[in-house]
């Protein structure tokens, strides 16, 4: 029998699974396991975390935008065709949409126009999730239509790879090109009543674009986006660094409660300390200095007898959570956390580096001294200006 870190229930060991503390979709799979993975989480909590805790941030409008930051630099570094993240711009407004459906607008490479028409199941849980319900089965994700905007073969292939990779659960169609059936992407059939109805939406967007009219979009954003994920990170990192004694503290129970509470009004009453992703940073220049192009920078340090975890996003925004301020527990920590410890993970490069001492990371950023792992990571980037023109 084992006790689950997230729900504190005792369960049979066979009911536990490998949990990425830092989400896999944000590069967790590339980070070292000693801090960023645990097998002390039951399968049920692992699934709940992926859907409602991490998922709320990852699949939100802001999380989706962060995932596309820096992707062109690493695409240029690969010097080969590869899928890159799409930009989610929100549900279309003032455009005819099939009854009972929502039409999401996405932007692809070189501004490729993508319209995803999906069933509206009326479930409020997925209002802030790009693309709606994340647990739909393959083939039940509606229909996605792409209008290519470049005649450059490189960008055509990148656009199609990205489109195919992202909409793997939807029927996929290209509306203005003939491509090989090997892509698994069809052409709309005007005799098909469903596709013909969808094309009324696609054509309406096309007409607005040709007329130079703006599209009206309405993406929904969670009020404290990333808040539940921060509480989970604080709880899991606290356990990994401080052990069972940390779980017995009152503050650990607050972190667990905030992670599990889905109602924002109830969650805001739980005394978890930190700063959310949407809060304006106190020191934007510090965030800029600590950020890494296209990467998530994770930093754990002890300042004024407080153990904190800070996250710097690819765009340079930050969020922080207090992990613990129990002096009796912090005394057990390795002295390196007093200086700060940094990890960097880059989804586009499929690579993570660290841990580094924070002073060493800063001196590398200032070109005072160098770290080989960071030099190797820099070498994986390229100049987007060297990519073929969009035409």
SS3 letters for 178-191?
A: CCCHHHCCECCCCC
Helices H / strands E in the chain, number of each: 16, 16
Q: H or E segment at 40? A: strand 37-42
Among the candidates 179, 194, 217, a domain finishes at 217
Q: Rounded to an integer, what distance in angstroms lies between the CA atom of residue 58 and that of residue 50?
A: 9
As to burial, measured by CB atoms within 10 angstroms (0-12 exposed, 13-18 middle, 19+ buried), residue 305 is exposed
pLDDT at 282: 63
DSSP label at 31? S
Q: Are residues 213 and 238 in the same domain?
A: no
* Nearest Cα to Cα of residue 104 among 135, 65, 77, 132: 132
Question: Quick check: bond before 349 cis, omega within 30?
Answer: no
Residue 168 CB: number of other CB atoms within 10 A?
13
Q: What tokens appear for 84 in the block? A: 């890159």
Q: Are residues 296 and 200 in the same domain?
A: no
Q: Are residues 33 and 124 in the same domain?
A: no
Among the candidates 197, 217, 237, a domain finishes at 217
Tell me whether residue 74 is in a domain: no
* Nearest Cα to Cα of residue 259 among 92, 30, 27, 54: 54
Q: Rounded to an integer, what distance in angstroms lies between the CA atom of residue 216 and that of residue 172?
A: 24
Query: Could you give the maximum distance between any two Cα atoms of the chain, in Å?
Result: 72
Q: Rounded to an integer, what distance in angstroms lies between the CA atom of residue 75 and that of residue 85?
A: 11
- The total of structural domains in the chain comes to 2
Q: Are residues 213 and 227 in the same domain?
A: no
H helical segments located in the chain? 33-36, 43-48, 54-58, 61-68, 71-78, 153-166, 193-210, 227-242, 244-247, 250-260, 264-267, 284-290, 327-330, 336-339, 358-365, 372-379
Angle among Cα 315, 318, 322 to the nearest 5 degrees reads: 160
Tell me whether residue 70 is in a domain: no
Q: Rounded to an integer, what distance in angstroms lies between the CA atom of residue 178 and that of residue 98?
A: 25
Tell me whether residue 72 is in a domain: no
Tell me whether residue 230 is in a domain: yes
pLDDT at 11: 96
Tell me whether residue 69 is in a domain: no
Tell me whether residue 66 is in a domain: no
Q: Are residues 239 and 364 in the same domain?
A: yes
Q: Are residues 230 and 375 in the same domain?
A: yes
Q: Are residues 175 and 309 in the same domain?
A: no
pLDDT at 281: 62
pLDDT at 77: 94
The 3-state secondary structure of 42-61 reads EHHHHHHHHHHHHHHHHCCH
Which residues make Cβ contacts (< 8 Å) with residue 116, sequence separation at least 6?
Answer: 103, 104, 106, 131, 142, 143, 144, 145, 167, 170
Mean pLDDT by 10 residues, the chain (391 residues): 95 95 97 96 96 94 92 93 95 95 96 96 90 87 96 96 96 94 94 97 94 92 90 98 96 97 94 84 77 96 96 93 96 93 96 97 93 96 94 83
Q: Are 340 and 331 in contact (CB under 8 A)?
A: no
Q: Rounded to an integer, what distance in angstroms lies between the CA atom of residue 354 and that of residue 160?
A: 34
| Structural domain span for residue 147 | 82-217
* Nearest Cα to Cα of residue 258 among 232, 239, 279: 232
Q: What is the Cα 111 distance to its own chain's centre?
A: 21
Angle between helices 227-242 and 250-260 (to 10 degrees): 140
Q: Are residues 308 and 265 in the same domain?
A: yes
Tell me whether residue 182 is in a domain: yes
Q: Are residues 182 and 258 in the same domain?
A: no
Tell me whether residue 256 is in a domain: yes
Q: Are residues 127 and 256 in the same domain?
A: no
Q: Are 314 and 291 in contact (CB under 8 A)?
A: yes
Q: Are strands 143-147 and 171-174 parallel, antiparallel or unpaired?
A: parallel
* Nearest Cα to Cα of residue 342 among 359, 330, 323, 324: 359
Residue 273 CB: number of other CB atoms within 10 A?
15
Among the candidates 175, 193, 217, a domain finishes at 217
Q: Are residues 136 and 200 in the same domain?
A: yes
Q: Are 153 and 133 in contact (CB under 8 A)?
A: no
**Residue 310 DSSP SS3:** strand
Q: Are residues 240 and 190 in the same domain?
A: no
């Amino acid at each position: 029998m084992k006790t689950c870190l997230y729900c504190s229930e005792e369960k049979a060991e066979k009911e536990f699974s490998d949990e990425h503390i830092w989400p896999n979709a944000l590069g967790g799979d590339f980070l070292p396991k000693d801090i960023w993975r645990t097998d002390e989480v039951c399968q049920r909590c692992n699934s709940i975390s992926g859907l409602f805790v991490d998922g709320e941030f990852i699949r939100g409008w802001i999380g989706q935008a962060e995932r596309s930051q820096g992707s062109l630099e690493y695409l240029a570094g690969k010097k080969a065709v590869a899928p890159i993240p799409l930009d989610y711009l929100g549900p279309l407004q003032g455009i005819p949409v099939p009854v009972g459906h929502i039409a999401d607008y996405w932007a692809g490479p070189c501004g490729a126009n993508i319209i995803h028409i999906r069933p509206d199941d009326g479930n409020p849980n997925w209002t802030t999730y790009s693309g709606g319900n994340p647990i739909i089965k393959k083939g039940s994700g509606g229909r996605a239509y792409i209008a290519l905007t470049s005649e450059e073969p490189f960008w055509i292939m990148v656009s199609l790879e990205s489109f195919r990779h992202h909409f793997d659960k939807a029927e996929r169609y290209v509306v203005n090109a003939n491509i090989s059936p090997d892509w698994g992407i069809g052409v709309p059939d005007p005799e098909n009543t469903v596709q013909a109805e969808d094309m009324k939406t696609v054509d309406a967007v096309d007409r607005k674009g040709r007329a130079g009219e703006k599209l009206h979009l309405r993406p929904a954003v969670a009020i404290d986006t990333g808040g539940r994920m921060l509480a989970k990170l604080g709880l899991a990192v606290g356990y990994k660094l401080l052990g069972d004694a940390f779980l017995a503290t009152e503050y650990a129970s607050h972190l667990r409660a905030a992670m599990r509470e889905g109602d924002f009004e109830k969650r805001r009453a739980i005394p978890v300390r930190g700063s959310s992703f949407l809060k304006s940073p106190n020191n934007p220049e510090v965030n800029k200095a600590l950020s890494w192009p296209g990467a998530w920078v994770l930093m754990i340090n002890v300042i004024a007898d407080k153990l904190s975890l800070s996250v710097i996003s690819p765009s340079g925004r930050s969020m922080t959570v207090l992990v613990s301020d129990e002096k009796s527990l912090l005394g057990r920590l390795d002295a390196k956390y007093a200086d700060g410890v940094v990890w960097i993970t880059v989804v586009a490069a499929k690579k993570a580096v660290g841990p580094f001492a924070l002073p060493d990371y800063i001196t590398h950023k200032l070109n005072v001294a160098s770290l080989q792992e960071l030099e190797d990571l820099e070498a994986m980037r390229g100049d987007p200006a060297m990519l073929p023109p969009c035409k």
